Structure 1
Amino acid sequence: MSRTLPFLLLTILPWAATAKPVRLAHRHSGDENPTTTQPAHGQAVGRVVLADGQPAEQVSVMVKGTTIGTSTEADGSFRLRLPAGKQTLAIAYLGYVTQEIEVDVPNRATVTIPAVTLAKSAQQLSEVKVTAGRTINQRPTSVSKMPIRPLDLPQAVVTVNQETLEKQQVLRLSDALVNVPGLYVTSTTGGTQEELGSRGFAYGSNNTFKNGVRFNNGIMPETSSLESMEVLKGSAAILYGNVAAGGVLNLVTKKPKFEQGGSAALRVGSFGFWKPMVDVYGAVGKSDKVAYRLNTSYEQANSYRDEVKSDRFYVNPSLLFKLTPKTDMLVEGDYLRDNRTPDFGIGAVDYVIIPSRSRFLNVPGALNATSQTSTTATLTSRLNDTWQVRAVTGFQHYDNELRSASRPTGSIVQGPAYGNWNRGLQRTETSENYFLAQLDLTGNFHTGFLGHTLLVGADADQYQTNTLAYTNPASPTSASTAVSTYDVINLLDLNREVAQPALRLKGFGDLERNINTQANTRRAGFYAQDLLSFSEKVKALVGLRWSYQETPSDVYYYNTVVNRQPQANGQVLAGTFKQNRRYDNAFSPRLGLIYQPLKTMSVFASYSNSFSPQANTVADLNGQPLPPSVIDQYEVGVKNDLFNGALSANVTAYRIVNSNQIQSVLPTDPRFATASNQNSPQELAGEVTSKGVEVDVQSKPYLGWAVIAGYSYNNTAYTNSNIYTNGSRLRYNPAHTANASLFYTLETGALKGLTAGVTGYYVGDKLAGRNPRLLNPADGKPWATADANKFISIPDYLLFDASLGYTHNRFGLRVKLANLLDELSYNMHDDNSVNPIAPRTFAATFSYKL
């Protein structure tokens, strides 16, 4: 049974016969009945745990015989303002024995109550349906690293819970994005990953996390093991260092439980899709100190894209150790193998999309084989009722081998060759090791009238990346990474016979190793952040981080034209070696002001910044490396819990300015003539501005109904550039997104357990291709002829999904129809990765609870 209880259930507890109607409040709130006056007050703080030592959330803590009370937070802690003098606290939780504790409350001071352990009750209760007890504005998130409610956070946060993920039968992250306005897919380059963006900025591996640890987003993560998906919008640099300005995404996997349980399921769908899934958990033996969980799945499918196939295996084991009543150790493993056909889409000629949904342009034998293995250990110890320490260590290994044709771009020269594409081969091998260590200390205390929720932490991580590229040994440009010709086809007419070049590769085996790039990025950071509570209504979040980053890379060249000395294995380093080194550091401040005129309403304004280091090869006019670009972010918003918490509605407006955007120094610049570096010198003189509005709406279940809705507007454009038109939009970012999901569950009657739902998701117009340029970067002068760069307008689209589910006893069945209107649009990168979205598809999941 869930430990999150609706307030109504508390009235049936044993002590309820002597209590007046209960009015619960939240942490940091003064919870006296406003009609009761007392001459003096103090406060009591404490923590409640269950019999197995786990924190007890949403436990009722009441002053006996009054309406003064509160409920415990996710970590079991509570803080209650109450009249001075002797008081009796009744601590109650459904299924556990109620405890009464006598406290002597000092005037204008705090009394600390020793940790309270609740014992299980022998009383048997009839079946009770438990619904969510907290709104999205009340439940703390792990992505914020602080034990505070989102209502107290001057930043937009969205959490998508497990129930929603299951109702929508989420298969990929893109399926879950329909619940988060302003988070969108920017492209699906190669069809092997989903590249995300928010507020005009791309999420890379730096911005994507699993259980608080970065993961390589070169592979599509598994969603069947997710407990929730957390999105922290806007700046997160103070917590995570070098992250893009749009926000961060954290995937939270399912955790071990001491009660025995689990499920087995089979999902089938269109295009030969099938996927068995198993999830089991429980205590190890009969131990009350060690629990486990194991999620695993296998997936195989064809595709609406001709000749595209996929094959995946996933396993996610975890162990929870109760080392002491105050200390837990959680060890989590994660392994994913993903083999699929690389697919760079349907192609474009002269920035015009070639209409098709299924045409496939890759070569026989193309394969993208990826595996990712990770392990994470998290130690959490409550030092006392004020302080808690959390230490995380993580390791991840990522391997990828890509064998594919190059990205399709046809000739734009008018004549017989118009649309011809020299289809080349590319082959790369990438291996990456990632290490992380992180230590956080959090405390909740007062200094006089001022309340503190303090976070002090440090982290360090390291990427060791090795990338090997292949080329044609017979090519005169074999020292470059250019792909080598396999054949020539015409993108406008695949049946047209085209003359083939004399020099052609027969297959991937003809390619030789060419360039080996070894990077070893090392980062470290120290940060402190404090939520200052001046009163129940006025708060401030202040913080500062210092980050350090090294980005050395070494480049080795194999078998260049000028130096071929094959050894026994046929390969040898050519003796060409290049080193690149960068050392960067940056400060990331944060200031947020929160005003809460009501306990269920928060108005906030904040400033923060993030930083973006430059590439190793970037240098200024004097040949010196450029410092990181610093990006300023401003955000204002309102968060509301309406109708007694039944509905949460949040509105956020933001402005993000990179006023030192990197751009080229043009040859027409007077400084260029006397510069010591005339090889593409750069400077921090451009500006890009992102601005927009986001609306998030979520309800708790009410009479069987549940709603999720949202809207976002964004405009990201050049606002100061020496090449591009000021005001021209940056690519890949939709101007508008909107979403609405409505679910209804029958809670009584013969069809009890029947759930029906519909989801609508709108993505507005986007731009791909390349931004047209005012000047020729090579000479800084207007183009003699028109600039060859052009935009591609990506059509907007509206997706409708419908689902139906039924559970009876241990059995369940869910069916889903996606893209009911069979809308056609594209995810694009430049003009050479044009990937159509999926057509109308069907899926069904059969499940059995163990």
Structure 2
Amino acid sequence: MSNARLTDGAARGARPTPEPALPPFSKRSTLGLHAGATLLVLWAATQAGRAQAQEATGKEAALPTVTVTAESQDPKPQHLDARVNGGALGARTQLDTPFSTTVVKSEDLAERQVSKLGDVFALDASVSDNSGAYSAWASYLTVRGLPLDWQNAYRIDGKPFLSYAITLPYEHFEQIELLKGSSGFMYGFGSPGGIVNYVTKKPTEQPVRSIDVGYKSDSVWSEHVDLGGRFGADDRFGYRLNATHEEGKTFNDGGIRRDSVSLALDARLTRDLSWNFDTLYQKRVSTDQTPSIYTGGYVGTRLPSVVRSDNQDLVGGGQHLTTDLKFYSTGLQYKLSPDWTLSASYSHSSSTRSRNEGILFLQDASGNYDDYRSDSREGHRFDQWQAMAEGRLRTGAIEHQLTLGASWQKQINDYSSNDIYQLIGTGNIFGRNTNGYASATDFSLYRNSDITQRAVFASDTVKLSEQWSVLAGLRNTDYQQNGYGIAGDRTSEYAKNGVVTPTLALMFKPAPDTTLYTSYVESLEPGSTVGNLYANDGELLKPLKSKQYELGIKTDRERWSGTAALFRIERGAEYANSANVLVQDGQAIYQGLELAASTRLGSQWQIGGNLMFLDSAYRRGSSNVGNRVAGAPNFVATAQVSYAVPQVPGLKLSADAKYTSGTMLDASNQLKLPGYAIANIGASYATRIGGHDTTFRFAVNNLTNKRYWEFQYDNYIKPGDPRTFSVSAKVDF
């Protein structure tokens, strides 16, 4: 983060909370009509396609059976059949989840050679990339115009961890899931942007043995090992070990060194009782990272021309970021009966960061800036206990899918009492930054804040017929948030018991491969501890409430899949008023339409696309009424295509592109970032060498070396990452 004492949740180290913006829903009737028509057309297409498939099946029933063994493309890259972790909802497939979701598989991550979280969800139009590789911003995203909450929006195997400045080792995950929108019932307090869940690789029935060597520009080398399998009597014990080392010079001539290891174990203790243990450790050091640019004091209505980001011109001496993450989780699962499973789990995560980071306070259109340096050490801990019962029962002709549970979690934020934030010089973005700063080495930490949540939850999916079902869920949370001074005295407190966050959904399945749904869910997010950019520095604001309404359809056919969702999110507005006091006033509205589809054409071509139309504005309140929300684009579109070359078996070529429309930089709408498009290409070749399956991969991100200003946070920007090249070779043995 760019300022060691800004604002977010209970932590002084977070960035200023973006000021919400909203549009009245009644003014958007055209969007609603288009959305309804789109949903109807997609449903009609599904029905017509099914009728044709049934007719074709009848005609081909008499044909002889032919068995073909070959490695084929995934005809449905949306992975609607993949199971996702829904927190208090339990695990269910994307198709059966009445909310908008995205799943990115490990194969997708490898194909695209990702370096940051924005790369992971590059093909999802609902996700705007606010991240920068090799920096403290590498895990920042905006979903449906809302920034994800770094304190509450990230999970590993459904368990919480503090994500700020943490770039996880993507090679260690089986899939990465995104649950879009409000998630109060599923996971408790958190912003309504969504939840990202990293699913670690688990023990497999068949042995796994692979080694992967990669190279990324400018000269970053990586090595990754993946080992797994089972052993013992009746294969009772399973293991999965992943280890990665990465080191070299980054695209802007900075440096990176990363070491990570993860281990997953399980044991079938009896026929009905099983145990699992997962751990992940990573230490990551980056140096000379590109600084963020702050525009809160900027004079003018247009930003300067975009500068290059592939060199050290913006980088003052001495910058570095060191993060250390430890994650542990263990649990027991007991099969009480064929229909009921009991589980209990505990997880602990801790992360520390030592951060010497430049922030350039941009002054004018000529590119002049004041160069501030933030130097600090920070730490976070997260503990959670959870017990759940999941099962089915019948009451007469009605079937119930039940989830019952209770959880306790505590988050502790530590900050350095003697951190440094000071002006070290001036400069111009079009010239070389000559300002230097020697990092401090002795920082003493103190508990700045803690947050405790105790919750009980229950959900019931009532199957009324083969086609109709209703979901109802409630979470009851006792919440306490405390702030502390350097001497250990409590300086602020907010406590509220019996906070209820409900969810409701109605689902209709005209066929097993299609779900139409409408859903409603509420969320509460922790109140901000106001940072030192504001006149009310140190004040603890109350939690913000949000509501989400969604209408959607998902269909998963043999050769194609499609989704559509119409949504509206209402969130309490928080922004700085004319007296520079951070206030909660009015409401922010986000409403839009998401469309996605993918299809396989013939045996070689796979094409897909993704669209998001978004309205966002402030409503009511005393300021900024009618203005767009900072960081919320009106329109985003993605497209991707892949081609399996028939003349060279195993060779696949791919390309994708993403367009993001213009984005407001602040709640007053005085500055606007222009829209931009980014294109990427890739290739993979699977073959056998010396009797071993071998895969070569090549990728180019930002193919045209597009220069653009990227929105990071309210009043924060950076030059977008330049063109980069990646190659890798993986051998299974």
Same fold (TM over 0.5): yes
Q: Equivalent residue of 2:380, what SS?
A: strand
CA deviations on 1:141-183 (whole Å, 9 max, x unpaired) are 2235435443333211222222322222333322221232302
Match of 2:589 in 1: 689
Among 600, 603, 621, the alignment partner of 1:703 is 603
Please name the residue that 1:661 is paired with: 573
Residue 148 of structure 2 corresponds to 203
Cα 1:436/1:759, change in 2 over 3 Å: same
Q: Deviations over 1:711-752 (max 9, x none)?
A: 11222211223121x221111222222222222336xx7732
**1:712 paired residue number:** 612
Which residue identity is paired with 1:508? S
Matched residue SS, 1:582: strand
Q: CA deviation at 1:760?
A: 2.0
Q: Is residue 771 of structure 1 aligned with residue 667 of structure 2? A: yes
CA contact (8 A) 2:530 2:539 kept: no
When Rg is computed on C-alpha atoms for both structures, the one with the higher figure is 1
Matches within 5 A, 1:94-493: 136-143=79-86, 145-188=89-132, 191-192=135-136, 193-205=138-150, 206-218=152-164, 219-284=166-231, 288-305=235-252, 307-341=253-287, 342-345=289-292, 350=299, 352-357=303-308, 358-405=311-358, 407-412=359-364, 421-470=369-418, 483-491=421-429, 493=431
Contact residue 551 and residue 616 of structure 1 kept, 8 A: no
Evaluate the alpha carbon distance shift between residue 663 and residue 771 of structure 1 in structure 2; reply closer, same or farther with a 3 A threshold.
Answer: closer
**SS of structure 2 residue aligned to 1:434:** strand
8 Å contact kept, 2:220–2:249: yes
Which one-letter code corresponds to 1:582 in the other structure? Answer: Y
Counterpart of 1:797? Answer: 677
In the alignment, the residues of structure 1 paired with residue 212 and residue 326 of structure 2 have an alpha-carbon distance, to the nearest angstrom, of 24
1:470/1:404 CA distance change after superposition, 3 Å: farther
Relative to structure 1, the CA distance from residue 723 to residue 426 in structure 2 (aligned partners, 3 Å threshold; closer, same or farther) is same
Contact 1:189 1:833 in 2 (8 A): no
Moved more, 205-214 or 154-163: 154-163
Query: 1:550 aligned to 2:493?
Result: no
Distance of aligned partners of 1:485 and 1:176 in 2 relative to their CA distance in 1, 3 Å threshold: closer
Q: Which amino acid aligns with 1:319?
A: L
Letter of the 2:345 counterpart: V
Who is 2:623 aligned against? 723
Q: Is the 8 A contact 2:705 2:723 kept in 1?
A: yes
Contact 1:465–1:520 (CA<8 Å) still a contact in 2? yes
Contact between 1:226 and 1:251, CA under 8 Å: does it hold in 2? yes
Helix, strand or coil at the partner of 1:239: helix
Match of 1:581 in 2: 493
Which TM-score applies when normalising by structure 1? 0.70
> Which amino acid is the alignment partner of residue 146 of structure 1?
G
Q: Aligned letter for 1:252?
A: V
Judge conservation of contact 2:334–2:341 (CA < 8 Å) in 1: yes
Matched residues, number: 649
What corresponds to 1:508 in structure 2? 439
Within 5 A, what are the aligned runs for 1:19-30? none
Q: 1:429 to 1:457 in 2, by over 3 A?
A: same
- Rounded to whole Å, the distance in 2 between the matches of 1:319 and 1:127 is 32
Is residue 226–residue 254 contact of structure 1 (8 Å, CA) maintained in 2?
A: yes
Root-mean-square deviation (CA, aligned residues, Å) is 3.4
In the TM superposition, what whole-angstrom CA distance separates every residue of 1:431-484 from its partner, at most 9, and x where no partner exists?
A: 22211111121112211111111111111111122100536xxxxxxxxx6x23
In structure 2, C-alpha distance between the alignment counterparts of 1:214 and 1:810, rounded to whole Å: 36
Contact 1:172 / 1:222 at 8 angstroms: preserved in 2? no
SS of alignment partner, residue 204 of structure 2: coil
TM-superposed deviation, 1:627: 4.7
Q: Is the 8 A contact 2:573 2:618 kept in 1?
A: no
Secondary structure in 1 matching 2:186: helix
Cα distance in structure 2, aligned partners of 1:766 and 1:527? 38
Corresponding residue for residue 64 of structure 1: none
Give the deviation of 1:666 after TM superposition: 8.6
Distance 1:420 1:521, change over 3 A: same
In the superposition, relative to structure 1, how do residues 132 and 404 fare at CA in structure 2: closer, same or farther (>3 Å)? closer
Q: CA deviation at 1:655?
A: 0.6
Residue 172 of structure 2 aligns with an amino acid whose one-letter code is: S
CA pair 652-628 structure 1, distance change in 2 beyond 3 A? same
Long gaps (5+) in structure 1: 1-33, 35-66, 68-124, 472-480, 557-574, 668-678, 773-788
One-letter code aligned to 2:523: S
1:640 corresponds in structure 2 to: 555
Is 1:739 the equivalent of 2:638?
yes
Specify the SS of the correspondent of 1:470: coil
Which secondary structure does the structure 1 equivalent of 2:95 belong to? helix
Equivalent pair of 1:153/1:541 in contact (CA under 8 Å): no
Which whole-Å CA distance do the structure 1 matches of 2:185 and 2:714 have between them? 36
- In the alignment, is the contact (CA less than 8 A) between 2:75 and 2:559 conserved in 1? no
| Aligned mates of 2:178, 2:96 — CA distance in 1 | 16
How far does the alpha carbon of each residue in 1:679-715 deviate from its partner, in whole angstroms, 9 at most, with x for none? Answer: 9695x54011000111122457973544443111222
Q: Give CA-to-partner distance per residue, 1:330-381, whole Å, 9 cap, x none.
A: 2111011111124214777636235321353333222111110111113222
Matched, 1:821 2:704: yes
Q: Supply the distance in 1 between the matched residues of 2:368 and 2:120 (Cα, whole angstroms).
A: 39
Task: Kindly indicate whether the alpha-carbon contact (under 8 Å) linking 2:683 and 2:697 is maintained by their aligned counterparts in 1.
Answer: yes
CA distance in 2, matches of 1:664, 1:304: 36
Which residue identity lines up with residue 548 of structure 1 in the other structure?
Answer: D
| Change beyond 3 A, Cα 1:633–1:833 | closer
Whether the 8 Å contact between 1:236 and 1:248 is mirrored in structure 2 is yes
> What per-residue deviation string (whole Å, max 9, x for no partner) do you get for residues 530-577 of structure 1?
111111111111111111221112121xxxxxxxxxxxxxxxxxx795
Corresponding position of 1:781: none
Q: Which has the higher contact order (CA 8 A, sep 6+)?
A: 2
Q: CA deviation at 1:227?
A: 1.0
User: Equivalents in 2 of 1:617, 1:275: separation in Å?
Assistant: 41
Cα gap change, 1:356/1:346 in structure 2, threshold over 3 Å: closer, same or farther? farther
Q: CA deviation at 1:276?
A: 0.8
d(CA) in 1 for partners of 2:181 and 2:472?
16
Question: Cα–Cα, structure 1 residues 542 and 512, in superposed 2: closer, same or farther, change >3 Å?
Answer: same
Q: Which amino acid aligns with 2:677?
A: Y
Other-structure match for 2:719: 836
Contact 2:707 2:720 survives alignment (8 Å):
yes
Question: Deviation per CA, 1:74-124, whole angstroms, max 9, x where unpaired?
Answer: xxxxxxxxxxxxxxxxxxxxxxxxxxxxxxxxxxxxxxxxxxxxxxxxxxx
Mark the CA change 1:321 to 1:629 in structure 2 (over 3 Å): closer, same or farther.
Answer: same
- 1:425 partner amino acid: R
Give the CA deviation at 1:818.
2.1
Deviation track 1:245-289 (CA, whole Å, cap 9, x = no partner) reads 122111112111243222101111320021111111122467611
Q: Is the 8 A contact 2:75 2:599 kept in 1?
A: no
The SS at the match of 2:122 is helix
Q: How many Å apart are 1:494 and its aligned residue?
A: 4.2
Tell me, in whole angstroms, the C-alpha distance in 1 between the residues paired with 2:586 and 2:133: 28
In 2, the alpha carbon distance for the partners of 1:829 and 1:836 equals 10
